[in-house]
Amino acid sequence: MALLDAWYLSYRKDEPFGLSDEEFEIAELLMYSRLPGVEQGAGLLPDEVQPVVVRPKKIRLWPRIAVAAAVAAVVVGVWFYSGNNTVNINIGDAKASAEIKPGKNIATLIAYGRAIPLSDTRTGVVIGNDGVTYDDGSAVSSSNAGKDREAEVVSPMAAITPRGGQYQFTLPDGTKVWLNADSKISFPSKFSGRERKILLSGEGYFEVAKDKAHPFIVVTDRGGGRASQEVEVLGTHFNINSYEDEPQIRTTLLEGSVRVASLSSKRGESVILKPNQQAVNAGNSIRVNPVDPADAIAWKEGSFSFTNESLGSIMRKVARWYNVEVIYEDDVQGKTFSGAVSRFDQVSTLLKMLETTGRIRFEINGKKITVRKK
């Protein structure tokens, strides 16, 4: 408790205590964990454990997927339309005006009291009974530190993707989780008891291992330890978008069924979703809409895909994936667009598509994107 409290308090006082921003965010996430057997605010890291410094590396993001996406984009082109005006543009015609590159395959794992930077040449991590490995079976450096000591107890773990990062995790029960940029999960090293419960902040796609006797529960955290929604499943595929800067939490079901309950609603409202439905949780109410789930999981498949989506929503996705700041000089956030483009292109390609609709224009200055009326 002493070490975690010191990190937390020193950060809040703006007095660095040797933690990077990413490491602090994980520590804060763990601090607000609602995992079984973990009291809120309880110390989760032993006092004697020292953090491993996370040092960014040169990243290669899923080379095979990137190549395939690039080839597909050249062949079929990219399309965008606004209102009744449809514009078809080939990727090869888009000239990059600035070198803002897309996000990378990067994440940090908290395991056995250590912050472990994950390899940029792997796509996923498996947390098993025998420790932590990459999805190709190779060992995760430093992941077994303290393993023997923790072998007989349930140890809290966490994973974080920064802005401009994404990664895949296989949890101890076999559930697969894909984390989008600027997202976090916390979970136990072993699931015990009646429920399999984890905490999510940001966006994740889940393929839950079936276990009728032990429901899988995802509690969403909108920041500062504010639990706002609970999703309960037995075994299914779904996506949750719960970023703090989004006005609603969106839960999209692809397969099976899930129960979505609002934890911030005084009425304790809950709904049951069927495939191709989306629960939109505004806090005081939940509505269910029919959707094409392809839009919700486009990020996992390597693309941006929009259907009558507001510019404000689109640019929030751009900001998280390209790690840029978006500035609006005119009131254009409410304008809607539809279209698709690869997430592996430079940001200028996407912006050029939007500009061609004739409604808006962009200016790139370093890592800032300014949006104006055309």
List, by residue range, all CATH 2.60.120.1440 domains of the chain: 2-58+103-295
Share of the chain above pLDDT 70, in %: 68
Residues 6 or more apart whose Cβ sits within 8 Å of residue 52: 114, 115, 116, 117, 142
pLDDT of the residue at 300: 96
Where would I find the beta strands (DSSP E) of 144-223?
Answer: 156-161, 165-170, 176-179, 183-188, 196-207, 216-221
List, by residue range, all CATH 3.55.50.30 domains of the chain: 73-100+301-373
pLDDT of 96 > 80? The answer is: no
Tell me how far the alpha carbon of residue 370 is from its chain's centroid. Answer: 25
pLDDT of 252 > 50? The answer is: yes
Q: Which residue has the higher pLDDT, 237 or 81?
A: 237
264 — pLDDT class (breaks 50, 70, 90) = confident
Segment 157-182 mean pLDDT = 96
pLDDT of 250 > 80? The answer is: yes
Architecture of 73-100+301-373 per CATH? 3-Layer(bab) Sandwich (3.55)
Segment 212-241 mean pLDDT = 85
pLDDT of the residue at 152: 53
Q: Which residue has the higher pLDDT, 161 or 20?
A: 161
Segment 215-240 mean pLDDT = 84
Q: Give the global pTM.
A: 0.76
Which residue reads 């330890």 in tokens? Answer: 225
pLDDT of 48 > 70? The answer is: no
pLDDT digits (tens, 9 = 90+) for 69-85: 433 333 233 444 444 33
> Where does residue 286 fall: left (phi above 0), alpha (psi -120 to 50 degrees), or beta otherwise?
beta
pLDDT digits (tens, 9 = 90+) for 123-132: 899 998 778 9
pLDDT of the residue at 111: 86
- Return the top range by mean pLDDT from 10-24, 60-74, 118-132, 189-203: 189-203
359 — pLDDT class (breaks 50, 70, 90) = confident
3-state secondary structure the chain: CHHHHHHHHHHHCCCCCCCCHHHHHHHHHHHCCCCCCCCCCCCCCCCCCCCCCCCCCCCCCCHHHHHHHHHHHHHHCEEEEECCEEEEECHHHCCCCCCCCCCEECCEEEECCEEEECCCCCCEEEEECCEEEECCCCECCCCCCCHHHHCCCCCEEEEEECCCEEEEEECCCCCEEEECCCEEEEEECCCCCCCEEEEEEEEEEEECCCCCCCCEEEEEECCCCCEEEEEEECCCEEEEEECCCCCCEEEEEEECCEEEEECCCCCCCEEEECCCEEEEECCCCEEEEECCHHHHCCCCCCEEEEEEEEHHHHHHHHHHHHCCEEEECCCCCCCEEEEEEECCCCHHHHHHHHHCCCCEEEEEECCEEEEEEC
Q: Which residue has the higher pLDDT, 162 or 22?
A: 162
Cα distance between residue 169 and residue 122, in whole Å: 11
CATH number for the segment(s) 2-58+103-295: 2.60.120.1440
pLDDT digits (tens, 9 = 90+) for 55-66: 333 323 333 333
pLDDT of the residue at 139: 87
Residues 6 or more apart whose Cβ sits within 8 Å of residue 158: 26, 29, 30, 33, 109, 110, 184, 185, 186, 187
